[in-house]
Amino acid sequence: MDPRIREHAEVIADHSTNIEAGDDVVISLPAVADELAVALHEIVGERGANPVYLNNSGRATRAYLRNSDEFETPDHQLALYEETDVFVIARGGPNVSEEADVAPETNAAYRRAYRPVLDERLEKRWCLTQYPSSGHAQLAGMSTEGYENFVWDAVTLDWEAQKEQQARMVDILDGADEVRIRSGDETDVRMSVAGNETLNDYGEHNLPGGEVFTAPVKDSVEGRVHFDMPLYRKGTEIEDARLEFEDGRVVNHSAERNEDVLTGILETDEGARYLGELGIGMNRSIDQFTYNMLFDEKMGDTVHMAVGNAYPETVGEENDRNESAEHVDMIVDMSEESVIEVDGEVVQRDGTFVFEDGFE
């Protein structure tokens, strides 16, 4: 086994989820990631925790979804997660487009039924990470070995140093009211974050981490956004999505490619028409776009907004949480002709933060 696989597993078990004696652990990986599963099982054994190993198979999921007419909440899976302490899930199948021919409305119906299971999972110590499979390497336009280097470098960052750097941006957003994001001619959006919490993501729930994120106040979002970085949704590329917000709600949308998939996302439920997250990428070690949200949204000169579910821990007690079976992140490139303003002060210009060298 490549020693970096064991290192990756140790970061998951130590830094991200803190696996301890007696923990009931669910490990949900694609079959090609069996070596990561082996390393995780070693650690689970060493610590006196208990594993359940799920096969996160795109082919099987597709087969189920394409042959189903309607969906109900799987009580047995819900029962499993209710008793689970730690949930580790990895992306990385042999073909990222495996679910490309599942109809968007089918996906939406499934997500609605599955939502109690997802909500239960999000209550746990959970970590979403990446296995450097051939499928994601191909998506990134990289050799498999090159992609292995990319992934294993990214997950074994000095997370304490990263945390400190990101804390500066958390300080700016905590207690702030209005955030305004402008980029090029087509993006100018304002939203309130008053009363909500800004979290510092340094590799816990997402590995790699490298962003700070919060929830917009649900009905406060006003303006237009052109998401100029492409988004892969179950292997289907949504290109140049544009959203227009009034009172927080998406009132117009379009996309240059696969607009129907975007429509399917927004029509999942009422919450899918509102933003659930505003995130600011701060990970300078992710230096290329790989068409994989887990990495792309962390890039140092991007912001992202997610339609759909807001993370409960980002929403203050006084504010309504946006609830949805969806949570789809979309990215804006902030490297040129772009500013982030917080309460009227410019805090990032053309990708450089106010606390970084080179800010003007």
Residues in touch with its own copies (CB under 8 A): 22, 24, 26-27, 29, 31, 34, 37-39, 41-46, 48, 50-55, 57, 59-61, 63-72, 74-84
63 or 103: CB nearest its own copies:
63
Least spacing, CB of residue 205 vs its own copies, in Å: 20
Nearest alpha-carbon partner for 235 in 59, 75, 54, 86: 59
Least spacing, CB of residue 31 vs its own copies, in Å: 4
199 contacts 313 by C-beta, under 8 angstroms: yes
Least spacing, CB of residue 161 vs its own copies, in Å: 31
Least spacing, CB of residue 86 vs its own copies, in Å: 10
93 or 208: CB nearest its own copies:
93
Q: Give the Cβ contact number of residue 185 at 10 Å.
A: 9
Helix axes 34-46, 3-10, angle to 10 degrees: 50
29 or 142: CB nearest its own copies:
29
Least spacing, CB of residue 29 vs its own copies, in Å: 7
Distance CA 278, CA 189 (A): 11
Distance CA 101, CA 96 (A): 12
Read off the tokens for 83: 């008793």
Least spacing, CB of residue 151 vs its own copies, in Å: 20
60 or 251: CB nearest its own copies:
60
188 contacts 182 by C-beta, under 8 angstroms: yes
110 or 202: CB nearest its own copies:
110
Least spacing, CB of residue 336 vs its own copies, in Å: 45
Distance CA 125, CA 87 (A): 6
323 contacts 277 by C-beta, under 8 angstroms: no
The contacts of residue 116 (CB under 8 Å, 6+ apart) are: 73, 78
Nearest alpha-carbon partner for 24 in 81, 109, 62: 81
Least spacing, CB of residue 37 vs its own copies, in Å: 5
111 or 273: CB nearest its own copies:
111
Cis peptide before 208 (omega within 30 of 0): yes
70 or 357: CB nearest its own copies:
70
Distance CA 360, CA 351 (A): 11
25 contacts 44 by C-beta, under 8 angstroms: yes
The contacts of residue 298 (CB under 8 Å, 6+ apart) are: 201, 206, 208, 209, 210, 211, 281, 282, 283, 286
4 or 284: CB nearest its own copies:
4
- The two beta strands, 206-207 and 211-214, are unpaired
